[in-house]
């Protein structure tokens, strides 16, 4: 095997080791999202209002939460490479007040999972975090167990326009079931 091929293989292996073994232990909320005991009153009020509007449908509730996050935050493709510090946000009150700021999948999922659980409609057991590989990056999405079905919620993919509601970004495409 030529030397340069060996070097390329080693670089690829090191890269995958860093993003799938090291990163989940270093980046907050990437491996396991821990919900804060208390959230600010504005965030709680928003979760309660959206829950009240959609009390007959968990699917609509999740969709409206994603739409709310889409209006509140922005996504720039390649942002984690240009602004790696945004992956390390972990104070829900500060995140809540960063209207119009760039957010990463782990931060968006932290906000989404917090609102889902603080609404009282879901328990921590109903919302699971999953990691996948998406376009050369580690990526996180949520799997939410409703009364009727399992719904995938990819906050980052949805905000970036890469996925539809009910799908998640993985590989170089998307999976899941588009929910109308």
Tokens of 14: 């090191």
Q: How far apart are CA 122 and CA 129, in angstroms?
A: 14
CB-based contact 33:126 (threshold 8 Å) = no
Quick one: pLDDT at residue 11? 93
pLDDT at residue number 180: 59
Secondary-structure breakdown of the chain: helix, strand, coil percentages, each rounded to the nearest 5: 50, 20, 35
pLDDT of residue 56: 92
* Reported pTM: 0.91
Query: What are the boundaries of each domain within the chain?
Result: 3-176
The pLDDT value recorded for residue 102 is 92
- CATH architecture for residues 3-176: Roll (3.10)
pLDDT given at position 44 = 97
| pLDDT tens, N- to C-terminus, the chain (180 residues) | 788 899 999 999 998 898 888 988 999 998 889 999 999 999 999 999 999 999 999 999 999 999 999 999 998 877 777 888 999 999 999 999 999 999 999 999 999 999 999 999 999 999 999 999 888 888 999 999 999 899 999 999 999 999 999 999 998 888 887 775
pLDDT of residue 58: 96
153: nearest Cα among 163, 14, 103, 161: 163
């Amino acid at each position: 095997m030529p030397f340069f091929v060996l070097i390329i293989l080693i670089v690829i292996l090191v890269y995958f080791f860093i993003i799938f073994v090291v990163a989940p232990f270093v980046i907050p909320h990437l491996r396991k999202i821990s919900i804060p005991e208390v959230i600010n009153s504005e965030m709680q009020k928003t979760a309660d209002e959206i829950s009240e509007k959609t009390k007959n449908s968990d699917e609509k509730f999740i969709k409206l939460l994603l739409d709310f996050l889409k209006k509140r935050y922005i996504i720039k493709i390649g942002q984690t490479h240009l602004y790696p510090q945004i992956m390390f946000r972990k104070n829900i009150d500060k995140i809540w007040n960063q209207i119009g700021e760039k957010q990463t999948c782990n931060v968006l999922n932290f906000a989404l999972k917090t609102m889902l659980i603080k609404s009282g409609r879901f328990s921590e057991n109903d919302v699971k975090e999953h990691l996948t590989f998406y376009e050369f990056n580690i990526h996180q999405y949520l799997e939410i167990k409703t009364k009727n079905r399992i719904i995938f919620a990819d906050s980052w993919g949805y905000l970036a326009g890469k996925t539809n509601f009910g799908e998640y970004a993985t590989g170089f495409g998307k999976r899941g079931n588009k929910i109308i």
